[in-house]
Amino acid sequence: MPEHAISPTREENYPEWFQQVIKAADLAEASPVRGCMVIKPWGYAIWENMQRILDRMFKETGHQNAYFPLFIPLSFLEKEAKHVEGFAKECAVVTHHRLELGPDGKLIPTGKLEEPLVVRPTSETIIGASYAKWIQSYRDLPVLINQWANVVRWEMRPRLFLRTTEFLWQEGHTAHATKEEAIEETLRMLNVYSTFAERDLAIPVVRGPKPACERFPGAEETYSIEAMMQDCKSLQAGTSHFLGQNFSRAQEIKFSNTDGNEEFCWTTSWGVSTRLIGAVIMTHSDDDGLVLPPRIAPMHVVVIPIHRSPEERDAVLAACQRVKTLVADLQFAGEPIRLRIDSRDMRGGDKVWQYIKQGVPIRLEIGPRDVAAGAVSVSRRDQPPRTKTSMPLEEFVLALPSVLEEIQQQLYDRALAFRDLHTQSFDSKEAVVAFFTPPDSGNRKSQEPMLHGGFARVHVADDPRVNEVFDPLKVTVRCIPMDGDDEPGFCIITGLATRRRSILAKSY
């Protein structure tokens, strides 16, 4: 047995470690269709848990779900100028609607479409066309709709969960009578995302507006939540856009106000995707594989019976069943506790390692000696793999909800400590450049997996000159954090006055 279940380790090769964690946990794999992925049951179950929690939060904030077409006529994309530039690039284009079987048994596309269709890269334009029809009066506002859907953005360098040609997401699209209300909605959903990330995914995030060059094409303001991964890069984990009247003007989304005058609506859009699974992997996992926050784990507890003889088997399985029965009445985070007894006919050690690699928060082993003592052997995924604690069966059951809560908190605390450790304030360009410049790679012997960079808190203006300076380092302004007090200063590049420090980082 090697020292760690995953090879290479984070330290040895972080991107390859990421791929190997996905493989070892059986989360997803590349498909025969370039850039697309197959989300396997364990990966999809994580997504289902994310969906269920988010969907509840969307409904609690007054949103309803609906479904709009997969295809967008080319002419729709042409309507909003910046949107065209931003999205009309790497798209899947449908040009034919029929196949005919050639004499050689090969299929030939026929039935050419008069107007090609684009497989939606995002749905502002197609949803806007509906809103223009639906909205007549201020009485029809606000429109608060969300859609769970697949979208396609052709990817030249795909990576599972992070950048795939097809991915699953939700996209909220709302229309309002006033600017203030639309901005309030934009921030409300940003907060839904940050609450979800921190409470449910145990991922600390920085919330804030992005610089102009990083905005959603066609937005007046884009807010994001940014999370630090274990390689110190930032991952944009969700975005909420204030679209102003840009799309409503382009698409004629108008309403008559209380005075009977026509106005353009103020719109927003916001989304998170299966990329969040990538964020969870890269925030919490270790060199033994996936580590899952209990709130989104498909299984909270796995019970592994250990036995040799048939008599042992019966007694052991009865004890396992007793745990299951007792746990059936318990809840964690408002949901039933998800427990499974794995009585497959294979070595207990192999099972244990499978569940370590799959990130199940709590493993329970029950053997004949445990049965005799009325005890169970408990292992926690947030502790080293060979750590086991024996405790009375009933005591384990009673403590279970609070132990799950403790693991959830522990993962958050660790991630926060990691982020704090790798966040620094800088007041000169040279210091920032030094922070982001890799050390001599021949010297990578440190125990700390991450060797350089992180979040640099810097005074920078929202100005192209700033981007030009940091571009060669692949460093960008991620966002201007909203939390905490103002701290006036001057841009280290342009000298312009700034109200707060921005976060600069390398990113996914």
In degrees and rounded to multiples of 5, residue 157 shows phi and psi of: -125, 75
Q: Which of 15, 62, 107, 427 binds a copy of itself (CB under 8 A)?
A: 107
Q: Does 126 bind a copy of itself (CB under 8 A)?
A: yes
Q: Does 175 bind a copy of itself (CB under 8 A)?
A: no
CB-wise, 8 or 116, nearer to a copy of itself? 116
Interface map 8-47 toward a copy of itself (x if CB under 8 A) = ---------------------x-xxx--xxxxxx-xxx-x
**CA of residue 262 relative to chain centroid, distance:** 40
Q: Which of 99, 318, 372, 417 binds a copy of itself (CB under 8 A)?
A: 99
Q: Does 62 bind a copy of itself (CB under 8 A)?
A: no
What does the radius of gyration of the chain's CA atoms come to, in whole angstroms?
26
Q: Does 84 bind a copy of itself (CB under 8 A)?
A: yes
Q: Could you tell me which of 399, 338, 391 has the C-alpha nearest to residue 366?
A: 391
Site for a copy of itself in 260-299 (CB under 8 A): none
For residue 20 the two structure tokens come to 């190997």
CB of 135 to a copy of itself, least distance (A): 13
Q: CA-CA distance, 143 to 234, in Å (whole number)?
A: 33
Q: Does 82 bind a copy of itself (CB under 8 A)?
A: no
Q: Which of 16, 19, 23, 73 binds a copy of itself (CB under 8 A)?
A: 73
Q: Does 77 bind a copy of itself (CB under 8 A)?
A: yes
CB-wise, 64 or 383, nearer to a copy of itself? 64
In degrees and rounded to multiples of 5, residue 255 shows phi and psi of: -145, 155
Q: Which of 62, 66, 395, 428 binds a copy of itself (CB under 8 A)?
A: 66
The string over 287-324, giving b where at least 16 C-beta atoms fall within 10 Å of a residue's C-beta and e elsewhere, is bbbbbbbbbbbbbbbbbbbbbeeeeeeebbbebbebbb
Q: Does 101 bind a copy of itself (CB under 8 A)?
A: yes
CB-wise, 121 or 453, nearer to a copy of itself? 121
CB of 33 to a copy of itself, least distance (A): 5
Q: DSSP string covering 283-334, please?
A: HH-BTTB----GGG-S-SEEEEE--SSHHHHHHHHHHHHHHHHHHTT-EETT
Q: Does 427 bind a copy of itself (CB under 8 A)?
A: no
CB-wise, 41 or 464, nearer to a copy of itself? 41
Burial grade of 428 (CB within 10 A; 0-12, 13-18, 19 or more)? exposed
Helix, coil or strand: residue 22? helix
CB of 455 to a copy of itself, least distance (A): 33
DSSP type of residue 218: T
Q: Does 106 bind a copy of itself (CB under 8 A)?
A: yes
- Per the DSSP assignment, residues forming a β-bridge with 175 are 143, 267
CB-wise, 304 or 432, nearer to a copy of itself? 304
Q: Which of 64, 331, 387, 402 binds a copy of itself (CB under 8 A)?
A: 64
Q: Could you tell me which of 17, 45, 28, 30 has the C-alpha nearest to residue 289?
A: 17
Q: Could you tell me which of 6, 31, 107, 119 has the C-alpha nearest to residue 73?
A: 119
Q: Could you tell me which of 364, 408, 360 has the C-alpha nearest to residue 46?
A: 360
CB of 91 to a copy of itself, least distance (A): 5
Q: CA-CA distance, 172 to 153, in Å (whole number)?
A: 18
CB-wise, 44 or 470, nearer to a copy of itself? 44
Q: Which of 71, 138, 169, 490 binds a copy of itself (CB under 8 A)?
A: 71
Tell me the number of residues near a copy of itself by CB under 8 A.
63
Burial grade of 194 (CB within 10 A; 0-12, 13-18, 19 or more)? buried
Q: Which of 46, 118, 303, 504 binds a copy of itself (CB under 8 A)?
A: 118
CB-wise, 280 or 461, nearer to a copy of itself? 280
Q: Which of 24, 53, 149, 320 binds a copy of itself (CB under 8 A)?
A: 149
Burial grade of 107 (CB within 10 A; 0-12, 13-18, 19 or more)? exposed
Beta-carbon contacts of 105 under 8 Å, excluding residues fewer than 6 positions away, are none
Q: Does 353 bind a copy of itself (CB under 8 A)?
A: no
Q: Does 130 bind a copy of itself (CB under 8 A)?
A: yes
CB-wise, 129 or 466, nearer to a copy of itself? 129
Residues making contact with a copy of itself (CB under 8 A): 29, 31-33, 36-41, 43-45, 47-48, 64-74, 76-78, 84-85, 88-99, 101, 105-107, 109, 111, 116-119, 126, 129-130, 145, 149-150, 152, 154, 166, 168
